[in-house]
A and B are shown apart, each in its own frame.
Chain A
């Protein structure tokens, strides 16, 4: 059986007292393509308790379509859980003026730690000019940008993220899904760009990938996420803690890297 104290504690108790998880890729709200039985704020907090997740950062599904409504919703919900639940403000480059108002307007909100890009959903390349207002604001405030990345995408494949990461070295980019399907290219970007981190949502399930990332990029450049309320954190955690890596690497991925990135960005 696996020789990891963290894995054994998770298997036996569902959580780990010395390695509470930080989830940097969560959401909120219904989403048309999936049935989610457990998506109210109270249910999501209960899942965090059950799975030993200490803190998570969410963007709102509503905000992908309606920034004003969705960003208002996610900031209002997260402020009910100070210290546990933080927010990304979603920016839609197809409406740059409104987007600028959104990401700047919440500047002093206590749970606002970063900006969410979803170039594939918005069908606009992350390298395009319309992302500039959000990126300049993120650079000036040293915010985190969590961006969807997907292999082969015309909008957010790893090579495009690399272009933007080189242009904005002050911005910390989390490559959501680690460029799913173009993992090697995304790992190369994370190696080259000090400001790019590999985020594991959905990627965790690929057998051997976590091991390859740790070996090829380093555990210090990997952060954990699982799209809650989509996916069961225990599933995602199981993929990490039962990978063939050290407990130090497990701890870095599940907790320490994200805490380091959020340091100084959390007001609540």
Chain B
């Protein structure tokens, strides 16, 4: 059986202000790390997207990874009311031009309410275009229930949204997310911190493998942990290939940009 082709859904370039032990400042360094871990590609965001502003970070990211075919870009969103990222039509056109096929939202850092009152038709269009929207687990604040409450409200308002909760905590948080897996077919999980012993096997057995994405939460977290976990999980080769990278590639291929 051929080795799965790994594609990491949660990798960041740049220098987080709070400091990490071994950051990757350039695409070359990041590709070397992917090689070390045996990972073929990555969906990338940039520390500046979250910690300074999407206005700066989105451009910084696409410039930094230009020409690196193994790295796929994401951008972060802001509320349309302030117009900082341009009108929605222009933003989608710019995404198409830059081949950006996934978005991040950092509502706690960027001080907005992620919901219909703020994003209205914009997130309807994100939903219709099947653009994956990634949310960090601390999107709603430092306590897990804060973010999960936000996710529950968001999915009630946009039940068809392709939502990926990234790097939820190592305690499993199954009691938070299993109801969402049952109710929302476009709800996905980055399993970078799903360290639970035999958790992946049980989750696949109960909910299938289609909505689980391999990720690392790099550079805050090591690539080796989830890489070894997925490689050795008792989930069967089809599930392993899907989680390792095929699910993410499918999601990105489904995106409809103008």
Contact = CB atoms under 8 A, between A and B. Distances in A.
> Which interface residue of A35, A236, A244 has the most chain B CB atoms within 10 A?
A35
How many residues of B sit at the interface, in one of the four size bands? Answer: 35 or more
A153 interface: no
Contacts of B200: 232
Nearest to B37: A242
A38 B198 contact: yes
Interface string A218-229: 000000000011
Given A11-B38, A47-B197, A207 B22 contact: yes
Contacts of B21: 206-209, 211-212
B229 A234 contact: yes
Contacts of B232: 10-11, 14, 50-51, 234
Given A231-B170, A242-B36, A205 B196 contact: no
Contacts of A43: 198
Nearest to A43: B198
A264 interface: no
Interface in B194-242: 195-200, 202, 218-229, 231-234
Interface string A1-40: 1100001001100100000000000000000011111100
A230 to B, nearest CB: 7
A197 interface: no
Given A35-B174, A35-B175, A208-B22, A235 B220 contact: no
Contact-size category for A: 35 or more
Contacts of A33: 171
Given A47-B198, A211-B21, A205 B229 contact: no
Contact of A2 (B38, B199, B222): B38
A229 to B, nearest CB: 5
A125 B1 CA distance: 54
A237 B120 CA distance: 45
B196 A2 contact: no
A4 to B, nearest CB: 10
- Most chain B CB within 10 A, of A38, A212, A239, is at A239
Contacts of B35: 1
Given A1-B38, A208-B22, A235-B228, A38 B222 contact: no
Contacts of A114: none
A83 interface: no
6 contacts: A1-B38, A11-B38, A14-B232, A207-B219, A211-B22, A230-B171
Interface of B: 20-22, 35-38, 170-172, 174-175, 193, 195-200, 202, 218-229, 231-234
Question: Which 5 residue pairs are nearest across A and B when measured between Cβ atoms?
Answer: A238-B228, A208-B21, A242-B224, A208-B22, A38-B198
